[in-house]
Amino acid sequence: MNLQEIKVTSFLMTSLFSFESSYVDIATRHFNQNLSSNDCKLIMKFLNDWGCRQFKKDNHKDASKYLIKWHKQAFKILPNHSLCLIDQSDNKIKQYSQIFDSLKESYASTDKRGIIKTFGPVGTAKTLFALRKNMFPPWDNAIIEKLDLSPDGVGYVKYLFLVKEELLKLKIECQKNNIELKKLPIILNNKYSSLVKLIDEYFWLTMTRNFEPNKLIDIIKKQ
């Protein structure tokens, strides 16, 4: 992963995928300890738009009750909205395993057979991302599998450290190009984005969609 590849994947995500619009709806929100019903509606819509089918619309209100309860308990562990993953201490990052696992097992819906669906590892990561876009990158099953991570709090903390490491490498490359890392989303004409989202976009396109940004870069160079 390098700066040029990040530029390509960021451009593609903002240009080609309609589900990005629901992200913009939450990107500027600062959620207080007591989530409102409107907050939950926004988050549930975001989760549905981002492929989380376990959140059935008929059960949004019930799922929201569990989300509100979890959020109130987890709020003291959640970071400030403005704090970036790259600036968070390793000891603090390790604490996120606990709140991940507690949300992962929370109620999401009941299917037609009466089987209860939970937030699960993907829904949990995307919920954390919706709440704190600067700290928690989303992931999906393909990313979990290809990075050989466990689908739980321990695995997600490993993922946080991996993303943080990629950001530190990217910071060095940005410095060589006289770019301030934290201004990178704005430079890429994606003012609603965040650093962890830029990394997620790269992982999603290259791991989930098997896209190879270097091939496109080579084609552009040959023009």
* Domain spans in the chain, listed from the N-terminal domain onward: 3-222
- How long is the chain? 223
Low-confidence stretches of the chain (pLDDT beneath 70): 17-20, 219, 221-223
User: Among residues 23, 123, 133, which one has the least CA distance to residue 63?
Assistant: 123
For the record, the structure tokens of 153 come out as 């709090």
**What pTM did the predictor assign?**
0.93
Interval 50-65: pLDDT, tens:
999 999 999 999 999 9
CB 52 within 8 A of CB 122: yes
CB 153 within 8 A of CB 100: yes
Q: What's residue 192's pLDDT?
A: 83
Residue 111 dihedral angles phi and psi, to the nearest 5°:
-85, 180
Q: What's residue 19's pLDDT?
A: 57
Which helix (H) or strand (E) covers residue 109, if one does?
strand 107-110
Interval 8-49: pLDDT, tens:
898 888 777 665 677 888 888 889 899 999 999 999 999 999
Q: Is the dihedral of CA 137, 138, 141, 142 positive or negative?
A: negative
- Return all residues near 89 (Cβ < 8 A) that are at least 6 apart: none
- Return all residues near 209 (Cβ < 8 A) that are at least 6 apart: none
Straight-line distance from the first to the last Cα atom of the chain, in angstroms, rounded to the nearest whole number: 23
Distance (Å, rounded) from C-alpha 203 to C-alpha 139? 8
